[in-house]
Structure 1
Amino acid sequence: MKNKSKLTLLAMLTCACTNQNSYNLTGEISGLKNDSIIVYMIDPITKKATNTDTVAVKDNKFAVNIPDSSLTSLYIIEKPKGNETIRTYDNPLFLFLPGEKMKIHGDIDNLSASGTEIYDKLNEAKDITNKEDELKGVRKMFTEAHLTQNQKAIDSLNVIIKELNAQLSTSKLNYIKNNPNSILSGYLFQNLRTADGIEAEKLLGENLKNGVLGKLISNFAFNYRMFDSMENIKPGKPAPNFKLKNLDGEYMTLDSFKGKYVLLDFWGTWCGPCKKGMPDMKKYYAKYSNKMEIVGICCRDTEKEWREGVEELQLPWTNLYNGQSDEIISSYAVLGYPTKILIDSEGKIVEISLGESEDFYKKLDELFRE
């Protein structure tokens, strides 16, 4: 952060706590040893800090105006003095919606929020909050067990944490089932078990998916589908079907290549390693094109960029356009680029390779060399 912008933000954030009604984030925090806190503002999608600054606390109270042009997560800790080590806390990330006014209260080790629709509804959902409190207490014991290297306690607490997480996820799912259009349901959609998340996505109202929480919901939905797919995208498992357009504008599916091996290559013109590996791809396509078809699936490009990239790189195999869609990315659990997935003539996965790998090409030689 440049000095000028930092000073401007500091002036905006740091204040005494008089006339709290004029601020969008106020609070009363006990248990502080020092006279200031640090407010981290985090993008809930990328998980990256967008702003960080110090806020004065007087008589346990503080009041600040934070930028509210977009959805923001807030994390609050005590600011250390001098050479003191920064203490971290098991406090939640508070989700702050544009235009809202939020109140933070409690001990610095156990903060809560109120004043917004999400947190006022959450505070009434005792089945959920009680499980969150219980889980927080067990996690504290787990941390202490690690510090004392008590392996027996660590193993026992691990089992309890797993069970409590499952119970909490079930409670959240039940709330979503009963309140599919509540904004709290959109908030609770975060951090569910994979199976619960997949079920919950089908239940959430369109008002939530198209509203202020839309991107957050979409991001978690993608992750749930990805984690679910990772259980199925393994050698020996059937490969998911797809439907994508080729260079002639015709739709093609996995079944279009039935009867021969198919090598799916997930790539993009923006991906340096993808383009660097094309000469080897061409070499092996020339060697084994009578036994397998390479199907390039271009992702995260515009159609113009895709077409120009295929022309520039002179890619001789089948080229399909996926664009910005996440459907095939999640169904094939594509974690990075390039990803190569070899599928046999019966539609079952043979090999998966992330990045460029000499071992992958050796596998092709083992399979196809006469």
Structure 2
Amino acid sequence: MTLKYFSFLLSVFLLLSCSQKKQESGIIKADISKLTTDFDKVVINMWGEEALGDSIKTFDTIPAKEGKFEYHFKVREPKHAYIYFLKNNKKVATLGFRDKSSKKQSFWGDILLGNENIEFNTDSVYEIIEFKGLKNYRVNFEGSPEAEMFMKGWKEPIISNKNIKQNASNFALLYKLFWSKEQYSVNQLREYSSLFSDEIKKSVPFNMLTDYINNKEKIEKFGFRENFNWVDIDNKNYTFDQVSNGKPVLLVFWASWCGPCRKEIPELKKFHNDYKDKINIVSLSIDDKYDNWKTAVEKENMPWLNLSGLPKRNNAIKKEYNIFAVPNLILLNKDGKVLLNAANDISKIINTIDKTTTI
């Protein structure tokens, strides 16, 4: 290969790299006039992944003419979009989106959109259905890798080194990795996360994933003994040694608003009566309102310690222990190392205790 030819290839590569830079805004262009022109306004409802730091919701109403509309938008990170039509300010129809990754003719009611140029046109319309007096215009779409990856992730595995390398700026991939993070080791998570683009690495969801990985690594290395310093409803502090008192500990992660958590309390009381000489129970609340937590603790009258970070350290237990769903039961040995994560299955805890001579 000559130096001149190599220089040419390098120039082309740099040009393509520049041309693939992420857009700063997006456009939806739609023409469904062959289907219908019987609407005069379009409402675009957009919302982010609230659990990943995006709680902003928008409702924009734009004019439509002869079955056509155009919507300009700008988002920090991809948002879900639900689109419906108005006639004389009355809702008359919705838009559905064909899942290209599905072998069946399946459709979604909302679509994940980043700052992309998306098109719905007459050539991409598949069918019209009617439900409860509303028509649903089911269409194909072009121009949204975010939407395609998001839909694909519900049907097949999409987390791999190769896929992330090829789609390093795709937020749908990051979201999928975050929601499935529990199934991967620390090393796998670090490897996958390292492959994302610099743009994604600056995002809130990526920082949340990084925090999760760091906490997971710390728990695996040191267990729950380190930084265990939580308070009861009277603001009395407890360390791990105080709650353990030389015995294994069953951590019960719960919240006052969690129905299944409250429902399993009678079963936990029975477990406490049967195993209190062997195991100490400690409930750790992920409530974000002190009064709600205090009221629930007093009402349930649990004969074991109930602790949290409230009222001063809101959401501290979530962040410290990577708890994103409750109820969750984790059995620890007397040194605070994890013996079993049983989700909300107390029978697994009992089987482990009964089959183990020393824990």
Say yes or no: does 1:346 pair with 2:335: yes
- For the pair 1:299 / 2:307, whether they are aligned, the reply is no
Q: Go from structure 1 to structure 2 and tell me whether the alpha carbon gap of 1:93 and 1:38 turns closer, same or farther (over 3 Å shift).
A: farther
Work out the CA distance in 2 between the residues paired with 1:273 and 1:155: 30
Picking from 269, 272, 283, the partner of 2:270 is: 283
Mapped contact 1:78–1:108 kept (Cα < 8 A): no
Secondary structure of 1:322's counterpart equals coil
1:145-170 deviations in Å (ceiling 9; x for gaps):
x9xxxxxxx999976423223x437x
Q: Which residue of 1 aligns with 2:169?
A: 168
Q: Cα distance, 1:341 vs. partner?
A: 0.6
1:266 aligned counterpart, secondary structure: strand
Give the equivalent residue in structure 2 for 1:316: 303
| Equivalent of 2:70 in 62, 73, 92 | 62
Query: What is the aligned counterpart of 1:225 among 190, 211, 222?
Result: 211
Q: Say if 2:284 and 2:308, in contact at 8 Å, map to a contact too.
A: yes
Contact 1:40/1:76, CA 8 A, preserved across alignment: yes
Partner Cα separation in structure 2 for residue 315 and residue 106 of structure 1: 55
Unaligned runs of 5+ in 1: 1-24, 96-103, 110-132, 147-153, 173-188, 205-215
Conservation of the 8 A alpha-carbon contact between 1:27 and 1:62: yes
Separation in structure 1 between the aligned mates of residue 316 and residue 255 of structure 2, nearest angstrom? 16
SS in 2 for 1:346: coil
Distance 1:294 1:77, change over 3 A: closer
| Match in the other structure for 1:244 | 230
One-letter identity of the residue aligned with 2:232: N
Q: Distance in 2 between matches of 1:309 and 1:245?
A: 15
Three-state SS of the structure 2 residue aligned to 1:244 is: strand
Deviations 1:107-126 (A, max 9, x none): 549xxxxxxxxxxxxxxxxx
**Deviation (angstroms), 1:307:** 2.6
Instruction: Pick the aligned partner of 2:246 from 253, 259, 274.
Output: 259
In structure 2, the partner of 1:29 is 29
Query: Residue in 2 aligned with 1:328?
Result: 317
Report the Cα distance in structure 1 between the residues aligned to 2:285 and 2:43, rounded to whole angstroms: 41
* 1:249–1:331 Cα change, 3 Å: closer
- The aligned runs of 1:131-150 (5 Å cut-off) are 136=145
User: Superposed, which structure 2 residues align to 1:118-133 within 5 Å?
Assistant: none
Residue 269 of structure 1 corresponds to which residue in structure 2?
Answer: 256
Q: What's the CA shift for 1:296?
A: 0.9
Secondary structure at the aligned position of 1:286 is classed as helix
Q: Kindly indicate whether the alpha-carbon contact (under 8 Å) linking 1:27 and 1:61 is maintained by their aligned counterparts in 2.
A: no
The answer to whether the 8 Å contact 2:45/2:82 transfers is no
Q: TM-score, normalised by structure 2?
A: 0.52
| Change over 3 Å in CA distance of 1:55–1:249 after alignment to 2 | same
Is the 8 Å Cα contact of residues 333 and 339 (structure 2) preserved in structure 1?
yes
Q: Unaligned stretches of 5+ in structure 2?
A: 1-24, 86-92, 102-110, 122-142, 179-188
Contact 1:38 1:55 in 2 (8 A): yes
**CA deviation vs aligned residue, 1:262-318 (integer Å, no higher than 9, x gap):** 111111222222222222222222333233211111222532332332222221111
- 2:308 is paired with a residue whose SS is strand
| Matched residue count | 266
Rounded Cα–Cα distance in structure 2 between residues aligned with 1:368 and 1:308: 38
Alpha-carbon separation, structure 2, partners of 1:320 and 1:226: 22
* Contact residue 331 and residue 340 of structure 2 kept, 8 A: yes
* 8 Å contact from structure 1 (residues 222, 326) kept in 2: no
1:40 deviation in Å?
3.8
Change beyond 3 A, Cα 1:353–1:233: farther
1:93 is matched with: 113
The answer to whether the Cα contact below 8 Å between 1:264 and 1:294 also exists between their aligned partners in 2 is yes
Q: Deviations over 1:318-343 (max 9, x none)?
A: 11123583342244332422111110
**Between structures 1 and 2, the one with greater strand share:** 2
Q: Is the 8 A contact 2:284 2:317 kept in 1?
A: no
Change in Cα spacing, 1:26 to 1:366, as seen in structure 2 (3 Å) is closer
Return the letter of the residue paired with 1:239. Answer: F
What residue is the counterpart of 2:351 in the other structure?
Answer: 362
CA 1:327–1:31 in 2, change beyond 3 Å: closer, same or farther? same
Q: Deviations over 1:111-145 (max 9, x none)?
A: xxxxxxxxxxxxxxxxxxxxxx9x949x79x98xx
Q: What is the aligned-residue RMSD (CA, Å)?
A: 5.6
Which one-letter code corresponds to 2:246 in the other structure? G
> What is the rounded CA distance, in whole Å, between the counterparts of 2:71 and 2:157 in structure 1?
43
**What is the CA–CA distance in structure 1 between the aligned matches of 2:63 and 2:48, rounded to whole Å?**
21
CA distance in 2, matches of 1:272, 1:54: 41
Give the superposition deviation at 1:78: 11
CA 1:302–1:72 in 2, change beyond 3 Å: closer, same or farther?
same
